[in-house]
Structure 1
Amino acid sequence: MARYTGPKARINRRLSTMVYESAGATRASQRRDSPPGMHPRGRRTSNYGTALTEKQKIKHYYGLGERQLRRYFAAATSAKGNTAQNLLLMCERRLDNVVRRAGFTKTRPQARQGIVHGHFRVNGVKVNKPGYILRAGDEIELRGRENLKNLYRGVIANNSPQPLDWLSFDSEGLKATILSAPTATDISLPVDGNIVVEFLSR
């Protein structure tokens, strides 16, 4: 999506999900967890509003624009299996998401910034597209510049990502490897993908 620069805690409160993980957004969301606006708890939400909220979760969490989400949806529809799972697993295999989940960065916006600035290589080739879709066997590593290595070592030292069966991370060698394709249990965003598929199919 176009880079969101507004108050991230407000989006977390509106969507009732921690889609933005920065320290400031987390603290602000904890102080006030109700949706923004007057009398938020008394509102009734239509089916359309619920589906739109679920779609917005995916867009904000993975940093997608509307056109990009529609492209992913078209690819997920043409692939075999459950369309909702296909869509979310494609998002999970994005380079920026993998960089975040491996532990190189604390948030996805940080991962996107590093990728756009050319900090990472995939299979030895510099990739500056956050939406690059990774496959089993791909290796992600930092460029060989010492200042970059020192920067990311500092981030990694203060970061403790959850270990993943489909992804290995070498914090000493600053390298991550995709061991296998993620499965439905590896999807990190709590969202009702079926509602989103119905919404996008209209």
Structure 2
Amino acid sequence: MKVTMARYTGPKARINRRLGTMLYETAGASRAMDRRPQPPGMHTRGRRPSNYGAALMEKQKIKHYYGLGERQLRRYFENVGRKSGNTGELLLLMCERRLDNVVRRVGFTKTRPQARQGITHGHFRVNGVKVTKPGYMLRAGDLIEVRGRENLKNLYRGVIANSPPDGLDWVSFDSETLRATVLSLPGAVDISLPVDANSVVEFLSR
């Protein structure tokens, strides 16, 4: 497995098949998942993972989907563990508020890795300030916009034209001005990853 910091750079289709979920949304990974949905390897069919193995798989889904490293995930877990409420749900809601996740979900990019790359290259501003950290935690009222360079605006307009965004209830998006406004914090219905977060909480609590 090839990993650079928190970013997985190995075969994405293999991760999708291993974990049984479309975590990586590239066209190639999607086609591979359609052709061979079963997990990779000769001896994996029919096996049921142990409780530990199942929880580990759920944790891996969160890490790959949101682009988190182990230490980053545990920091999030420690953060939400101090709050009241369902810890698993709070963990996923924190992930949903990441800048790279919102950039992807409103339709600026087709995948989260593309969103992370654009952010680290300084393509986006939050409240008028350039932000280069994909894990920047958004708050209600924050304004996300593509920087004023015409080449960047043309780049993202092209992405949006080829793949119109689905829209989010908690973020408004103007494809003409290339601006997204966080209207409110996300709720449980806004979580985009189907995962057993409670088993992940139990795993991380060990």
TM-score, normalising length: structure 1 = 0.98
Tell me which residue corresponds to 1:34. 38
Matches within 5 A, 1:52-201: 52-201=56-205
Alpha-carbon shift at residue 162 of structure 1 (Å): 2.0
Alignment partner, residue 15 of structure 1: 19
CA shift for structure 1 position 158: 1.0
Offset at residue 4 of structure 1 (A)? 1.2
Q: What code does the residue aligned with 2:120 have?
A: V
Distance 1:96 1:113 in 2: 9
Question: How many Å separate the matches in 1 of 2:144 and 2:168?
Answer: 15
Q: Partner amino acid for 2:162? A: N
Give the CA deviation at 1:5: 1.2
Partner of 2:201: helix, strand, or coil? Answer: helix
* Matching residue of 2:47: 43
Counterparts of 2:169 and 2:47, CA distance in 1:
41
* Seq. identity, %: 80
Report the alpha carbon displacement of residue 83 of structure 1 after superposing the two structures with TM: 0.5
Letter in 1 for 2:147: R
Across the aligned residues of Structure 1 and Structure 2, the Cα RMSD in angstroms comes to 0.8
Q: Give the whole-Å Cα distance in 2 for the aligned partners of 1:80 and 1:121.
A: 32
Residue 41 of structure 1: how far off its partner (Å): 1.8
Q: Distance in 1 between matches of 2:167 and 2:176?
A: 16
Which aligned runs of 4 or more in structure 1 are off by greater than 6 angstroms?
A: none
The secondary structure found in structure 1 opposite 2:181 is strand
CA distance in 2, matches of 1:110, 1:120: 13
Larger mean Cα displacement after TM superposition, 122-131 or 156-165: 156-165
Deviations 1:83-133 (A, max 9, x none): 111100000000000000011000000000000000000000000000000
How big is the shift at 1:40? 2.3
The amino acid that maps onto 2:15 is: I
